[in-house]
Amino acid sequence: MAYLNNQISLFKKSFKLDKKRFGLVILFDFIFVVVSGIALFLWSNWVTNSALKIHGLDLTILTEDAVNELALLKSFYYGTLIYSILLIIFLFLAWSFFQGFIWNTILKKKFNLDYFKKFLLLNLACIPLFIILYFLAVICLGFFDLVLLFFSTSGLNTSLAMFILLILVSFIFLPALLYMINFISIIYIYFTKKNKILDSFKSTFDIAVKKIHLLYIPYLIISLVLVLLSVITIPFNILPAWLTSLISFVLLVIYAAWARFYIAAVIVKLERIHHKI
């Protein structure tokens, strides 16, 4: 009961945030999305324009033109490879830079060059973990599709089937999915607090894996908030599609910022309870 009361208290306090820090996190998220979007647009534009130049090439006849066309084709493939690698590196650096700022803002730490260099190494170390979590999330979604297929072919009353699915999504699938999505965020929290890569993995394992049951209520709460937010946005469907998408995006960024502050508060509280500081 004490644990539940603590979670309710943390949930209430999560809405009494420092407005300046909360606004900065939202701003950093927006800037990251804009910068990444511009980079992806420029890459896509180059690939599209380059593909148009080689469209319709005929390499079946060995002529001087065919040799030139072959060189143009090789240039396209090499160029695409190089620009794709540059895009990945840029997005990696941008992600590390803005996430570093965000977590330092949330935890009231100072972002500096030493932190950024170590944070880059941390993100490199997290790549295999990210791949594992991605596949686990895909499996979770695949299992949900099977459950959805089962209920759609079971012959149950439609209202009853929808109610059961809502319960399963809200209390099982969504908390599990958000846990996997936010697992690396917990590593970021520990790293930002201690600025030690190996310790951040160890501390995350001690709390997020060994005591995973203590994280169910927090992730259930952020899942229910997301469901509620989804319901609230339903009336916006009468608006033009672009405006509905924009409103949904803004609300999602605000929700993501709140969820990170809340999870950070939960982790700090669990540390104190289990003497991990």
The pLDDT value given to residue 173: 87
In terms of Cα–Cα distance, which of 271, 276, 269, 275 is closest to 6?
A: 269
Which residue, 212, 173, 218, 199, is CA-closest to 8? 218
pTM of the model: 0.86
Q: What is the per-residue pLDDT for 62?
A: 47
**Tokens linked to 87:** 């895009």
- Expressed in percent and rounded to 5, the helix, strand and coil fractions of the chain are 85, 0, 15
| 94 confidence band (pLDDT: 50, 70, 90) | very high
The pLDDT tens digits for 202-214 are: 999 988 888 888 8
Which position has the higher pLDDT, 3 or 194? 194
Q: What is the pLDDT of residue 140?
A: 84
Reported confidence tier of residue 69, pLDDT bands at 50, 70, 90: low
For 141-177, how does the pLDDT look when each residue is reduced to its tens digit (9 = 90+)?
888 888 877 777 777 777 777 788 888 888 888 888 8
Q: Which comes out higher in pLDDT, residue 71 or 66?
A: 71
Least confident of 22-31, 32-41, 71-80: 71-80
Q: Judge whether residue 240 has pLDDT over 90.
A: no
- pLDDT of amino acid 277: 42
pLDDT at 276: 45
Closest to 130 measured CA to CA, from 138, 144, 262: 138
Mean pLDDT value across the chain = 85
